[in-house]
Structure 1
Amino acid sequence: MSRSPRARTEEAPPTDWLGELPPELHLRILEGVDDFSDCAAFSLASPRLGLLALRSGLVRFNDPLFAVAMRLLLAQRTPALRRSPRLAAAAAAPAAIPPSPLTESILRKYAADRRASADHFPWLARVSPALCLSSELDGPGDNRIANWRLQRGDESGARLRVGLLRCGFAMFFEGERGAERRVRAVSADGTVVHLKGERGAERNVRTELPDGSVAYYEGDQGVERMVRMVHADGSTVVHLEGERGAERMVRTEMPGGMVKYCEGEKGAEKMVRMELPNGNVQYYEGEQDAERVVRMESANGNVQYYEGEQGAERVVRVVLADGAVVHCEGEQGAERKVRVEFANGNVQYYDVMATAGSTPQ
């Protein structure tokens, strides 16, 4: 027998009071929660509905500042006995401004998120006046630049981010004030450049392209050269060699385990070898886009030799692992044995019709 909500409440009060409401009202209530502190409190009070808001794509619950609000609320609910000695000392120290409930690492992580917005900085200043974020606008008109910094009370701290408002470009920084170094640059089209190195010597080490491909670089600032390109699906990896601006493709790891080797200058690389998953190795000759198979070394020790233009290569000779040599004639796909020279010096000739399609592998 089912029990009424009232009877269930009298016997064991529910921990999720909103669970008693009709489901169609849940999202309506969630849509009306617009303060990040309230969003966090709501989610802690009713994790089930907080998860519903997140999965439903409600803006406040999917904003990176929601994670900051959750950390803040959890820190405030942590019993004093469980606080670290550093936080306990900060809380006990006299100060004109109460100690910050947020840490520098949390604020840096928020500022590093591409979705972060300076529109929410007043909320940060309200909940954590001792340590928050500030934004200053420099430059005229369409050339305005937004500088994001850590803010310790009335004192400006380290630079975290610089954004060009007109084009949507943003540069991200790490390091203490006066020693900030560039670590990431994001363009409006989605290109992300990752940098490493000390201030003034930052070098490009990785570039994530809008199509999902990732390029890797080596070399000092100003002479970085591409050494590897990983396609979006991760199944194709191109390796390059050469100085900056002249990088040439030397090896491509392809889907299924095939590996292609190339030679030649940038833009004119030609395939010279292909390693197949079964252990066979094909060798090529010819200019770019006209490479033709001339030899294939099989895993079993046999070696096939080919003649003909690209796409019409035909087997003309097979050297078997035991030393025998098979000579063939005929067009591609219709090669036939015409003569076999055995290692002991014997030679055997074959009737054309009887040996059609019998090329050894």
Structure 2
Amino acid sequence: MTASKQPKGESEKVVEKKMKPITALRLQRMIGLVIALFLLLAAVFLSLMVGAKPLSFSVVWEALFSSANSYDYTIIHESRIPRTIIALAVGPAFGLAGAVIQALTRNPLADPGILGVNAGAAFAVALAVGVFSITSITSYIWFALVGAFVATIAIYFIGGGAGKKSPSPEQIVLAGVAMAAALNGITTALSLINSRAFAGMLNWRIGSIARKGLEDLWPILPFLVIGLIVALAIAPALNAIAFGDDRASSLGVNVNRMRILGLIAVTLLAGGATAIAGPIVFIGLMVPHCVRWFVGPDQPWIFLYSVVVAPLILLLSDIIGRVVMSPAEVPVGIITGFVGAPILLILVRRRKASSL
């Protein structure tokens, strides 16, 4: 009896030793997520306070919960609240789209632009403005969504998705790069031919969340929500795909179905966000990369963190853009490029952060 109990005791010790680092990592992730949420809340209030006319916290708080007809009230409710809410909507979309495409392609340096989603949306908008003379955002938003859908489907089939076997990550990447280059060239040509029509879209092409109202967001919001749900639903399966298609199939994952769902999620998220805010760079590339360094290669946690950290970085970048050349503003797409490039270079040199 004594001999039979000894192995059981040793086994329990082994299990306990294995559980300790898992429990510690889970606790670290949860604490980090709570901190990120608090930082996001602080960034929201900063977004409401900072601008051409700085407002105190007490003024913002009073304006949020009162209906006083004042200049400060007008600034907050007609400009800063819509701007902040749009950032809270498109930030997670860009970040999560980047996380999905990095998991699908098993490439930690991939982003939504690699599928040509941004290029497809921009090309469709250029077509709407240059050919059909549509300059209202509520009208060309739909062109952007259609362009994103068509570009993603085309890339999937060009990459080999028309056959029985799903296209490899390398094929999707090459097809996306080629498609993006071609569409960006055509878009630039259209903007040069009719420069007057494109003058009002300059901020959109750079990437901006300024001078947009909530009425511009509502038509896009359902697409973003559906994309969010699809992405979170396939997150556990993407953990298996990270080991390769053959290993994922042996674990019971339908790789082709997951890849199609992933492409749909990326199209809805990045296409919808690009439609309203323009092709904001580095959010989809930088955020999942930073998050992976902290939480490890577990896709559900990467996705969850990306939903919180992406709008945090977008809001902070937008705040910097408001004050760096005050009273003029720098579009947030330029700031994310300046902030994202050095951070990404630092992370690329870290072996832990550069691997999936």
Give TM class, smaller chain.
Answer: under 0.3
Q: TM-score, normalised by structure 2?
A: 0.18
More relative contact order, 1 or 2 (CA 8 Å, 6+ apart): 2
Structure with greater helix percent: 2
Structure with greater strand percent: 1
